[in-house]
Amino acid sequence: MIIGGPASQLLASKLAVILNQYLALCDYRIFPDGEVYSRIITELDENVIIIQSTPTDRDIIYLLQLLDICQGKNVSLVIPYYGYSRQDKIFKGGEAVTARALAKAVDHSLSNDSRVYLINVHAPSILNYFSCRAENLDATPLLANAMKSLCLQNPIVISPDKGAMAMAQSAAIYLDAPCDYLQKTRLSDTDILIAPKEADVKSRDVVIFDDIISTGETMASATTMLLNQGANRIFLAAVHPVLIGSALIKLYRSGVSSVLATDTLDKAIGTISVSTLIAQALKQ
């Protein structure tokens, strides 16, 4: 039985079709004071798959409610977009490692036999915070294959910072293209600085790969710099289209030709589905 949380209803439905499994009927509501309510109306099976991304605090509470309802069942949990993954360590003394706090809260409702699946989680070290087996699924090949169909001319793959270099390198292999990275410094939540770097982009189509697009500042700054260096067209690929506020407009204003993203978050831009990736992992 598949239980789709409110943040992952479409993905849960696609998964149910691929796995030919029953999709539970659920009721999600918000009380006048802002508290949320979850009820699974269908009688639960012994084996359940819960799928719920956690882009907002409210989605975290929904997830904890679903786990609470499924207590005592064999639970496989899929969190396609793991919110707070960028708070994965202490950057300044006195801070919480919120990615760990969330994992602990989730873990509390799982048994040792449970499985947790994340997708391109920003910091893979987060997997260690779960006491049951936790896996990080990689959507890079799905995005790279979709990029292939765009008939790129003399492509080069660029990572906007060192953190996304592994993704970019693996995409470059799929695209049979060279790979490079930029040096990014985050100045504040919304401001970043990309150090000027002469990349070999002249007259080439550039694919910039990253795990998350949030404010769009990273991708927009990289795009502006690479176009100034003579790049032909810029294509963006990201697993998690968080896309805060007018991020998409910012990206297209900077000159990108297209943005490709997956459906770990329920956004229209997420045309590359990770449902097959999740289905494969669950079958194994």
- What residues are annotated to the active site? 184
> What CA dihedral angle connects 214, 272, 234 and 54, to 10 degrees?
10
Tokens 């770097």 sit at which residue?
A: 197
Give the interface segment with ligand R5P, choosing from 107-115, 160-168, 198-206, 253-261 (CB under 6 A).
160-168
Shortest distance (Å) from residue 280 CB to ligand R5P: 25
Closest to 181 measured CA to CA, from 158, 164, 209, 207 = 158
User: Do 99 and 126 form a contact (C-beta atoms < 8 A)?
Assistant: yes
Residue 211 beta carbon to ligand R5P: minimum distance, rounded to whole angstroms: 5
C-alpha angle 278/129/51, rounded to 5°? 30
Q: From residue 103 to residue 142, what is the string marking binding to ligand R5P with x (rule CB under 6 A)? A: -------------------x--------------------
**Which listed range, 5-13, 125-133, 150-158, 159-167, lies at the site for ligand R5P (CB under 6 A)?**
159-167
How many chain residues touch ligand R5P (CB under 6 A)? 15
Decide: is 214 part of the binding site for ligand R5P (CB under 6 A).
yes
210 binds ligand R5P (CB under 6 A): yes
If DSSP codes are grouped into helix, strand and coil, which group holds residue 102? Answer: helix
| Closer residue to ligand R5P, CB minimum distance, 206 or 213 | 213
Q: What angle do CA 229, 243, 265 make, to 5 degrees?
A: 125
Q: 3-class DSSP state for residue 167?
A: helix
Contacts with ligand R5P by CB under 6 A lie at 122, 160-161, 163-164, 192, 210-218
